[in-house]
Amino acid sequence: MATLFHLALPCVSISKTRQFYNDVLGADIGRSAVKWADINLFGHQMTFTECGPFKFDSNSYNFNGDILPSFHFGVILKKEDWNTVLERLKSKNVSIVSQVKFLENKTGEHQSFFVKDPNDFTVEFKCFDELSDIFNV
């Protein structure tokens, strides 16, 4: 079995969070209750718990001339899946915060796009030209 990742995050509205991850991103909803839900994001477990307003104060940073949020999470997809998700989001008129190619012509070259979920979390979707470059320097 491949190792899976689990991430637990607060949310403002569990119903809006379920709707975004299920209806917009196409992720399956797992176990859930009135105030929490498990989301299957490409095989990884995310648990959202409704807690009301919250705030993460974090500065953005500059990476090769692009400004990125220091607090974000996401998934690495195969190119065809990455394109499918991007087209799905565009067809649903989801605002793409940015779409960038990083480390062009270098080890680790990859493309990313970022979207905001209903809780104002930035979610990144990336695809590498060479999967073996994910951790190579």
Domains 6-50 and 60-133 share a fold: yes
Each domain of the chain, given as residue ranges in start order, spans: 6-50, 60-133
- State the Cα–Cα distance between residues 15 and 78, nearest whole angstrom: 29
Q: Assign a CATH topology to domain 60-133.
A: 2,3-Dihydroxybiphenyl 1,2-Dioxygenase; domain 1 (3.10.180)
Note if the pTM is more than 0.95: no
Instruction: Please write the tens of the pLDDT for every residue from 63-81.
Output: 777 777 778 899 999 999 9
33-47 residue pLDDT tens:
999 999 999 999 999
Average pLDDT over residues 98-106: 89
In whole angstroms, what is the distance from residue 113 CA to residue 98 CA?
A: 6
Say yes or no: domain 6-50 is CATH 3.10.180.10: yes
Q: Which of 103, 96, 63 is nearest to 82 (CA)?
A: 96
